[in-house]
Amino acid sequence: MMMTTAPAFGQDAAAPAAPAAPAGTAPAAGQMSQAQVAAFNQAVTDFTAGQTAQQGGDNAGALAKYEAALPAIRTAVQTQPANIDNVNFLANALYAAAAAAGAQQQLDKTLAYYDESVPHWRKVVAAKPTDATSRNILAGILVQSGNAKLTKQDKAGAAPLYAEALTLARKSATEQAADPIAKNLLLSALIGSSQTSDDPKVKEEAVTMSKAMLADGSVDAVNKPSAQALSGAPAAAPAK
């Protein structure tokens, strides 16, 4: 049985809300040229303009601004890899660009930005272990990337992505047991893992959680079809 889910981090998977303006600061002038520092500062301006466009529904305009900003942000991170604020800025910019591309159905570009962002999100999550938002974004991206591989029948490639997402999602669900966003994120990771793991306990857990969330109405629209398939519950009849 093939089921794929989109990441469940409390927003439409195709077009997540733009992240808040990052706390990125210009790299020290002694480590970058004045031109590079000026480019970084312009990147902050472009990113902010991209957010405004994205929040207004102009995804094409937003993507253009994000793509204009990314080279200078990448340079800053390459120059100062230990500056976690700028790593976070790059992760956010890539995530926002992926969202803007996804809203335009540019799925290959979306996945490419997701893939590029993953090591940066990992670094942010490692540096900020109590930052549930960043942890959940990373878990959601990993699920989405796993789904893309599973759609191409690449179970070997999808399995470690789901497994990593599952570890992250469990932590969030443990910290926020009553939070439907955290619960749905865990469910989406379990659904993916149940299709790629050889551990029968993972499938059992996915079935049990699907049944419980269907029963209490906490399953979201993205996870619901897969939860119904796992639990054996009948799908809702289409509206007439």
pLDDT at 25: 56
Q: Are 51 and 18 in contact (CB under 8 A)?
A: yes
Of 215, 190, 220, whose CA–CA distance to 232 is shortest?
Answer: 215
Q: Are 168 and 176 in contact (CB under 8 A)?
A: no
Mean of the per-residue pLDDT values for the chain?
A: 86
pLDDT at 178: 85
Give helix 34-55 / helix 59-79 axis angle, nearest 10°: 150
pLDDT at 31: 80
**Which residue is listed with tokens 């289409």?**
238
Q: How far apart are the C-alpha atoms of 5 and 15, rounded to whole Å?
A: 15
Structure tokens, 59? 């995804």
Is pLDDT at 239 greater than 50 in this prediction? no
CA 153, 119, 10, 129 dihedral sign is: positive
> What would the pLDDT profile of 57-85 be if each residue is shown by its tens digit?
999 999 999 999 999 999 999 998 999 99
Is pLDDT at 139 greater than 90 in this prediction? yes
Residue 141 pLDDT class (50, 70, 90 cuts): very high
Task: Name which of 59-63, 161-165, 222-226 the model is least confident about.
Answer: 222-226
pLDDT at 94: 97
Q: How far apart are the C-alpha atoms of 61 and 174, rounded to whole Å?
A: 39
Is pLDDT at 15 greater than 60 in this prediction? no
**Which residue is listed with tokens 């500062």?**
41
> What would the pLDDT profile of 106-135 be if each residue is shown by its tens digit?
999 999 999 999 999 999 999 999 999 999
Cα distance between the two ends of the chain: 28
3-state secondary structure 103-171: HCCCHHHHHHHHHHHHHHHHHHHHHCCCCHHHHHHHHHHHHHHHHHHHHCCCHHHHHHHHHHHHHHHHH
Task: Name which of 46-55, 166-175, 224-233 the model is least confident about.
Answer: 224-233
Is pLDDT at 224 greater than 50 in this prediction? yes
Provide the b/e sequence for 133-162 (b: ≥16 CB within 10 Å): ebbbbbbbbbbbbbbbbbeeeeeeebbebb
pLDDT at 156: 95
pLDDT: which is higher, 68 or 18 = 68
**Which residue is listed with tokens 């803007």?**
100
Is pLDDT at 236 greater than 80 in this prediction? no
Whole-model pTM: value is 0.85
Is pLDDT at 215 greater than 80 in this prediction? yes
pLDDT at 33: 85
